[in-house]
Amino acid sequence: DHLVNQIAAGEVVERPASALKELMENSLDAGAASISVDLAEGGSKLIRVSDDGSGIDRAELALALSRHATSKIASLEDLHKVRTLGFRGEGLASIASVSQLSLSSRAEGSEQAWRVEADNGLIHEAEPAALARGTTVEVRDLYFNVPARRKFLKTAATEYAHCEDVFKRVALSRPDLALTLTHNGKVQWRLKSESPSERMRAVLGNEFADSMLQIEQAAGGLRLAGFAGSPTLSRAGRDAQFVFVNGRFVRDKVVLHAVRQAYQDVLHLDRQPLYVLFIELDPEAVDVNVHPTKTEVRFRESQAVHRFLFHSLNRALAETRA
């Protein structure tokens, strides 16, 4: 089983940033209002995620580290209407199989916090821990037991940059969330709970915030909200397109294509501008179970989604020109 976990880890935990993503998603699923992240050496030495979410009961702590243990779906049926970010129950088990992981938690209403540690596939007995609320997961020495994978880690600066990407995506998707990020003991980001446009400014800068166009469209069970960058913005690069489907960061060809076409059509712009878009639709109309890292989705009616996005953006962009 340890081996199975390690193999799964290869898919789920490609690098420190993928572990960070799993941990932050768990915090979001637990209803956290604030999350702090501490990293050392780009995350390869330490990833610590603390939240003030609902916590985990002592009796469930060890289970949370075992493979396919999820509290989020109860049946295959549920898989078609996933509302949480996690659902496979392999995040923690995979990370634990390739690191020194400790999980501390104080369940809501519990008088005491408890901690379990995973060590080479062995889960130790729960011990009392000092934690006021929520959950803290500490991941040390990622890939210490898989030298072949450790070799593929890039420099700490590169791994940190990937972690920061993950952090920023969460920050953009949840302006109400208070967030901090430290790296090697230095505070990199400190974000208080704020309005969506304040959050855009804090994360993406003044130039974007001063010129961004707010979008709000709905039709036929589809909803599009967010902020589209002005095409004159100098800073539009390849990694400046943030798309969230039901709160989940995705890279999707259908969405990218529709947005690109709208910009091309109205503004004759043939590069991707900076934008942050939130698409909401019935969870049954989108398959999120495509890949373990879950940045891919499959729309059941992708043509309808494409049409809706294109027309919504087209209208919004055309209004600014008028």
Binding site for ligand ADP (CB under 6 A): 22, 26-27, 30, 51, 53-56, 64, 69-72, 86-93, 135
For Mg ion, the binding residue among 42, 53, 91, 226 (CB under 5 A) is 91
Minimum separation from the CB atom of position 136 to ligand ADP (A): 8
Q: Which is nearer to Mg ion, 101 or 215 (CB)?
A: 101
The whole-angstrom separation of Cα 250 and Cα 239 is 12
**Which amino acid is residue 129, in one-letter code?**
A
Burial class of residue 213 in the structure, from the number of CB atoms within 10 Å of its CB (0-12 exposed, 13-18 middle, 19+ buried):
middle
Indicate whether 86 belongs to the interface with Mg ion (CB under 5 A).
yes
Which does residue 28 bind out of ligand ADP, Mg ion, none, counting CB within 5 to 8 angstroms by kind? none
Minimum separation from the CB atom of position 30 to ligand ADP (A): 3
Indicate whether 16 belongs to the interface with Mg ion (CB under 5 A).
no
Minimum separation from the CB atom of position 82 to ligand ADP (A): 10
Minimum separation from the CB atom of position 203 to ligand ADP (A): 22
Q: Which is nearer to Mg ion, 26 or 246 (CB)?
A: 26
**Which amino acid is residue 164, in one-letter code?**
E
Indicate whether 292 belongs to the interface with Mg ion (CB under 5 A).
no
- Considering CB under 5 A, how many residues would be counted as binding Mg ion? 3
CA angle 233, 236, 238 (to 5 degrees): 170
In the shown chain, the binding pattern of residues 19 to 58 toward Mg ion, with x for contact by CB under 5 A and - for none, equals -------x--------------------------------
Q: Which is nearer to ligand ADP, 61 or 191 (CB)?
A: 61
Task: Choose among 56, 63, 65, 62: nearest CA to 5.
Answer: 65
Q: Which is nearer to ligand ADP, 85 or 266 (CB)?
A: 85
Under a CB-based contact definition with an 8 Å cutoff, are residues 18 and 25 in contact?
no
Tokens of 66: 């075992």
In DSSP notation, 89-128 reads S-HHHHHHHTSEEEEEEE-TT-SSEEEEEEETTEEPPPEE
Which does residue 54 bind out of Mg ion, ligand ADP, none, counting CB within 5 to 8 angstroms by kind? ligand ADP
Beta carbons within 10 angstroms of residue 307's beta carbon? 15
Which does residue 196 bind out of ligand ADP, Mg ion, none, counting CB within 5 to 8 angstroms by kind? none
**Which amino acid is residue 12, in one-letter code?**
V
Under a CB-based contact definition with an 8 Å cutoff, are residues 268 and 317 in contact?
no
Comparing every residue's Cβ against ligand ADP, the nearest one is 86
- The CA–CA distances, whole Å, from 11 to 83, 222, 292 equal 22, 32, 7
Q: Which is nearer to Mg ion, 86 or 175 (CB)?
A: 86
Tokens of 47: 């990833």
Q: Which is nearer to Mg ion, 53 or 91 (CB)?
A: 91
The whole-angstrom separation of Cα 283 and Cα 164 is 28
The whole-angstrom separation of Cα 166 and Cα 152 is 19
Under a CB-based contact definition with an 8 Å cutoff, are residues 20 and 163 in contact?
yes
Which does residue 204 bind out of ligand ADP, Mg ion, none, counting CB within 5 to 8 angstroms by kind? none
Residues that bind Mg ion (CB under 5 A): 26, 86, 91
